Structure 1
Amino acid sequence: MPAYKGELINLYADSAKSNRLKASAQSLPSWDLSLRQQSVIELLMSGALSPLRGFMGQADYQAVLDKGQLADSSLWPLPITLDVSEKCAEGLSAGSQLVLRDLEGVVIAILTVDEIWRPELGVEARAIYGADSSSHPGMAALLDYSHPVYLSGAIQGLETPAHHSFKRLRYSPRELRQQFSKLTWGNVIAMHSTRPIHRAEYKMVMQAALDNDANVMLHPLVAEGEQYHSRVRCYQEVLKYFPEQTTLLALLPLAERHAGLREQILHAIIRQNYGCTHMIVWDQYATFDTQSTIDAALAEAVVAELDIKLVRYELPVYVEARGEYVSPAKLQAGDVAVTLDSDEFYRRLDRDLEVPEWFSFPEVVDEVRSSYPPLARRGLTLFFTGLSGSGKSTIANAVLAKLLEIGGRHVTLLDGDVVRTHLSSELGFSKEHRNINIRRIGYVASEITKNGGIAICAPIAPYKSLRREVCDMVSEYGTFVEIHVATSLEVCEARDRKGLYALARAGKIKEFTGISDPYEEPESPEIRIDTNGISIEEAAQQVFHYLRKERLTA
């Protein structure tokens, strides 16, 4: 199977050149890559994104948005760009060199800058997703977490980003092609996955391999910084059920972009570069809908330009009376199909209920249960937000006291004032510093949650985007409960025990939430408490009523 456009690119410098470039890197400006950026640059350097030789310039970028192709009319569905801060971009110009480092400071590559520009992220979001609402996970990643400046240019690879887990499951395109050759595999069908494989998926893959006379490469996406390790252990367990010498498991270091058909095509290009002849297209690509206006044209271009074949399959359903899985198209009159979707599977895990043997493999269920305990034993963050003086700290302390009285769980209170004293004493009250403080609180809460404890947070947290960011951090490991203490500004000012509102009204405190800086109210918190006319105990009782209703406490 040829690489896309015929050449499998290799952007790594040879040993001698690499040493020279690393020596020169000490005197060059640098940029610390995010984990998401590291995954992209790893794929660029290894040739998985062939024929690209670096980050896109404006002509390619605009053509991708408008038509799903590069400026030379080659099929390419999604932008491959490097976003940096304004501070990083200062002093750079065409021809400048920028050192790209991982989060530990290791030099990964050197970028020779070609173009510097400031994209309209809303325009990019509408082109890729059909809208620019950050409620969609792909759009949220683009709109909320992207830096304002894009750099284009060729890269010279110096070091593969370090991976310390599952090293034997990580292959470059060249290594995987060599493995296919060693195994004397002809047709190879790639199975894309972002969740554990159960019996229905296994049956689908086996049927696809049979239909296409192919061996199987399980090629799940794994993104550093996300909790994929349990999922990989599930794949390793499932691998035992495939016939020997027919199936290989390899990890693809790439984050999801939730971009529908565009993302599906990018994955097809990547799998072709890895040497696969076929790729299964199934319902995982429909998890989040997009409304791209060029989907039909892209679908036609896939057939015309790619050598890899995209084969579509539906998940089979279980017919209990027959004791077997059947394709939906082959159901007979009188067949009663039973299904158990992902939501129901996790609902059963939440409630510590039995999972039917026909649904999954016992080893997979055991592994998922070990990393996804029932709600009552899972880590939890209670995130109180509200204006200064709203009562959130007082309610949080009452909830803390009650949880400690009940016992059985480790509980930690991260109050805004206490955190500022011990964790953020060097920070002021600018928007930038408040955001840093909230991120620190979110990080600590996520670590507590990851280890099965309960974190109670009570900062003001006035900005929706930061609260969502904290929610994302915590939800990776456990349950996030947003609690809006919706005390009115008038009541908060009347309470004003510290005199802060009076000082803000007098202009002596700048950027004070509710006066000179906005408080963005949560639109749909799990709990909303209006403290007018109720006691602290009654407010705390609202929290416990929710926790019991949702089975978050024993």
Structure 2
Amino acid sequence: MYLVMRKCDDGFRWLETDLGLDNLDLFVADGVLVGHLAWWSAPQRANVSTGDGAISCETSEIFPSRGICREKTKRGVAPSSPDCAMANLPHGGVLKDLYLRDAHKKDALAEEALRLPAVVLTERQLCDLELILNGGFSPLEGFLNQKDYESVVQSIHLSNGLIWSIPINLDVSSEQIVALGIKTGARIALRDPRDDIPLSILTVEDVYRPNKAKEAELVFGANDPAHPAVSYLHNQTKEFYVGGNVEAIRSPSHYDYVSNRYTPTELRSHFKKLDWTRVVAFQTRNPMHRAHRELTVRAARARKAHLLIHPVVGMTKPGDIDHYTRVRVYQALMPKYPNGMAELSLLPLAMRMGGPREAIWHALIRKNHGVTHFIIGRDHAGPGKNSQGKDFYGPYEAQELVEKYKDEIGVEIVPFQMVTYCPDSDEYMPIDEVPKGTTTLDISGTELRRRLRLGLPIPAWFSYPEVVAVLRQAYPPRLQQGFTVFITGLHASGKNSVAHALQVSLNQQGTRPVSLLLGETIRSELSSELGFSKRERDINVQRIAFVAGELTKAGAAVVASMVAPYEEAREQARSTVEKFGGFYLVHVATPLEECEKHDREGIYKRARAGKISGFTGIDDPYEVPKRPNLVVDWSKQSVSQIVHEVVLMLEQDGYLGSS
């Protein structure tokens, strides 16, 4: 049963009803206003009463031009529904839970979607859509039109004046616009890339070309490709944005940690069930240790509040620890809080690493989830160093920007207090409270990774044994990790001889399975349809890199040998494999004239005679690697000597040797 606000002849009334009514306008679900106020055409006062005529809420003033309801005085509580009492209103006053709003027509929408042209979403678009649909991005009901986009980029506000700091866009290519008939008024299905199921229908309001350089400068502070969001903007974001509202069909399917996933409506209901009215949220994309537990407890204690641990499990910074490992860490940490103090909920957010602007965004999202306080850390959501080796943002820039707009944000900001361990008293203390001369201990992220890599002890004062066990399982010592040796060089340079010999040497070590990937074998087994254009050669290299990455992830030693003449393709292969383990680029730099001497097949001779075109080293270039891990020369070194150099390199980095 829901409490519904209806526009009646004699004013506006709260009525109890089931969902599914076609003329449902605005209702309260677990104390949250859900719906829209489009049917108010002029400012007026709403006479709010229950079905029996009893006054249930105090008068509110309606601002239809903004589409929101602003409270004029303190909110009243409906006698027939205590759900009206909530800790914090959603951003804009109404939680835009489109699942609830569109529940009565989802079957019709699903049937319509089958007949519509469709955009298959990217990973980022999928994360954004999920938070639009469940109300996490309230007051948004879709992807930004041009007016709102330009307003957000320029002024950190939507065109209606509500604060909003990060543009939420549906990017499409010119080819998609033509093929799908994307134009004003068109209806487009938005499909999940994982199972091709339609999640919603977008009604196109406008299609526009953004100024990406301006977006990068104003939103992220610099048009610098070292910033992950700027790199994504220029290299992965398509050239046009589509604005328009969406209608919900279903939520994206999740098969991991389902019991820890709450929509804003569900989380607000959960807080109500627990009788939590003051909630401090903690955002993280990293594992948590004893220091994090201490600072969150201090924040809650100081504000007489409960804790919401609200980590991001959508897209984070490239190179971050995978969310499966992190969630296992959070689950291991939760019992360390006093019983009833903290709850864990996962947020399917695609982070932009936007520093100050992202801090505002994070606070608004948590406000929509019902929290009253939000912890803003030092260098909150910072991406690291720029192209000049300097931090993109100042350490307190995020806190300062949030403080500037705190009244509009509507969440009390809790500044992050760095804490450090004091061994003499066996406790963590805020750095600014540590007496002068007191011994303190800390372990940096770099040192933690070194200890994990080498299997060294991690002290109990730094982290809990249960947390360390999770990290050791996910990040075993290098002796147990996979790696790829990527051997590149001209045809007949000796690279395949080196690859075969290295495979034998690694098999003799007996510490892990060894896979040999030769360019010729991959071409015949996986890439037989490819020719030898630059594009097709790059595709072949990426297929080999994909296979090598999967084997590396499984803990194997991979020896890959191919010409791979182009630097960009080799570097992309490095990026593909390095996510899962070691990557070593070995350049067999045997001179061309020596390669021609050892060419038993006579391919160079035919290429010089013009019988073969596009042959690497003759009429197609071989780009010398800029970042090789090892350079060898088959004309000056024996195969055994080269293999020994490779083995020494692997041993030095901890992949080979005794435990």
The equivalent of 2:92 in structure 1 is 5
Aligned equivalent of 2:170, options 82, 102, 113:
82
Distance between the aligned counterparts of 2:638 and 2:331, measured in 1?
A: 53
Asked if 1:175 corresponds to 2:266, the answer is yes
CA contact (8 A) 1:227 1:476 kept: no
The change in CA–CA distance for 1:287 and 1:551 in structure 2 (over 3 A counts) is same
> Which digits, 9 at most, give the CA deviation of each residue in 1:130-155, with x for residues without a partner?
44444443333333333343322222
**More off after superposition, 471-480 vs 373-382:** 471-480
The equivalent of 2:110 in structure 1 is 22
The equivalent of 2:125 in structure 1 is 37
> Which digits, 9 at most, give the CA deviation of each residue in 1:480-514, with x for residues without a partner?
3344445667776787756369649959646x667
> Which digits, 9 at most, give the CA deviation of each residue in 1:321-369, with x for residues without a partner?
2211111101112201111111111101111111111110000001110
Asked if 1:405 corresponds to 2:508, the answer is yes
What is the CA distance between 1:200 and its match in structure 2?
0.8
The equivalent of 1:92 in structure 2 is 182
Larger radius of gyration: 2
> Which digits, 9 at most, give the CA deviation of each residue in 1:70-109, with x for residues without a partner?
3444332222112234432223222222222112211112
CA contact (8 A) 2:376 2:398 kept: no
CA contact (8 A) 2:96 2:138 kept: yes
Specify every segment of 5 or more residues in structure 1 that has no aligned partner in the other structure, as ranges. none
Aligned equivalent of 1:288, options 384, 387, 391:
384
The change in CA–CA distance for 1:119 and 1:544 in structure 2 (over 3 A counts) is farther
What amino acid does structure 1 have at the position aligned with 2:92?
Answer: K
Distance between the aligned counterparts of 1:471 and 1:444, measured in 2?
A: 12
* Secondary structure in structure 2 of the residue aligned to 1:254: coil
CA contact (8 A) 2:228 2:383 kept: no
Distance between the aligned counterparts of 2:162 and 2:124, measured in 1?
A: 25
The equivalent of 1:50 in structure 2 is 138
- What does residue range 115-514 of structure 1 map to in structure 2 within 5 Å? 115-223=206-314, 227-283=322-378, 285-286=381-382, 288-289=384-385, 291=392, 298-299=401-402, 301-386=404-489, 391-461=494-564, 466-486=569-589, 499=603, 503=607, 509=613
> Which digits, 9 at most, give the CA deviation of each residue in 1:348-391, with x for residues without a partner?
11111111111100000011101110011112222334555555
The change in CA–CA distance for 1:506 and 1:9 in structure 2 (over 3 A counts) is farther
Aligned equivalent of 1:540, options 629, 643, 648:
643
Distance between the aligned counterparts of 2:143 and 2:515, measured in 1?
A: 44
What is the CA distance between 1:179 and its match in structure 2?
0.5
**More off after superposition, 78-87 vs 67-76:** 67-76
Distance between the aligned counterparts of 1:270 and 1:92, measured in 2?
A: 30
Distance between the aligned counterparts of 2:611 and 2:415, measured in 1?
A: 64
What is the CA distance between 1:465 and its match in structure 2?
5.4
Identity among equivalent positions (%) equals 36
What amino acid does structure 1 have at the position aligned with 2:108?
Answer: R
**More off after superposition, 396-405 vs 335-344:** 396-405
Distance between the aligned counterparts of 1:466 and 1:416, measured in 2?
A: 14
* Secondary structure in structure 1 of the residue aligned to 2:280: strand
What amino acid does structure 1 have at the position aligned with 2:553?
Answer: K
The equivalent of 2:198 in structure 1 is 107
CA contact (8 A) 2:566 2:622 kept: yes
What is the CA distance between 1:54 and its match in structure 2?
1.4
The change in CA–CA distance for 1:221 and 1:531 in structure 2 (over 3 A counts) is farther
* Secondary structure in structure 2 of the residue aligned to 1:414: strand
CA contact (8 A) 1:505 1:515 kept: no
The change in CA–CA distance for 1:323 and 1:256 in structure 2 (over 3 A counts) is same
The change in CA–CA distance for 1:151 and 1:509 in structure 2 (over 3 A counts) is farther
> Which digits, 9 at most, give the CA deviation of each residue in 1:46-85, with x for residues without a partner?
1111112212233333333333333444332222112234
CA contact (8 A) 2:376 2:399 kept: no
The equivalent of 2:65 in structure 1 is none
TM-score, length-normalised on structure 1?
Answer: 0.90
Distance between the aligned counterparts of 1:422 and 1:372, measured in 2?
A: 33
Distance between the aligned counterparts of 2:324 and 2:156, measured in 1?
A: 33
The change in CA–CA distance for 1:158 and 1:427 in structure 2 (over 3 A counts) is farther
CA contact (8 A) 1:169 1:251 kept: yes
What amino acid does structure 2 have at the position aligned with 1:94?
Answer: T
Distance between the aligned counterparts of 1:358 and 1:437, measured in 2?
A: 49
What is the CA distance between 1:239 and its match in structure 2?
0.4
* Secondary structure in structure 1 of the residue aligned to 2:246: strand
CA contact (8 A) 1:75 1:301 kept: no
Distance between the aligned counterparts of 2:408 and 2:618, measured in 1?
A: 58
The change in CA–CA distance for 1:349 and 1:21 in structure 2 (over 3 A counts) is same
* Secondary structure in structure 1 of the residue aligned to 2:322: coil
Structure with higher helix content: 1
CA contact (8 A) 1:201 1:315 kept: no
Number of aligned pairs? Answer: 553
Distance between the aligned counterparts of 1:51 and 1:197, measured in 2?
A: 31
CA contact (8 A) 1:11 1:47 kept: yes
CA contact (8 A) 2:506 2:514 kept: yes
Distance between the aligned counterparts of 1:317 and 1:99, measured in 2?
A: 51
The change in CA–CA distance for 1:6 and 1:547 in structure 2 (over 3 A counts) is same
What amino acid does structure 2 have at the position aligned with 1:539?
Answer: I
Distance between the aligned counterparts of 1:118 and 1:529, measured in 2?
A: 49
**More off after superposition, 478-487 vs 539-548:** 478-487
TM-score, length-normalised on structure 2?
Answer: 0.76
CA contact (8 A) 2:227 2:383 kept: no
What is the CA distance between 1:15 and its match in structure 2?
4.3
Distance between the aligned counterparts of 1:177 and 1:455, measured in 2?
A: 49
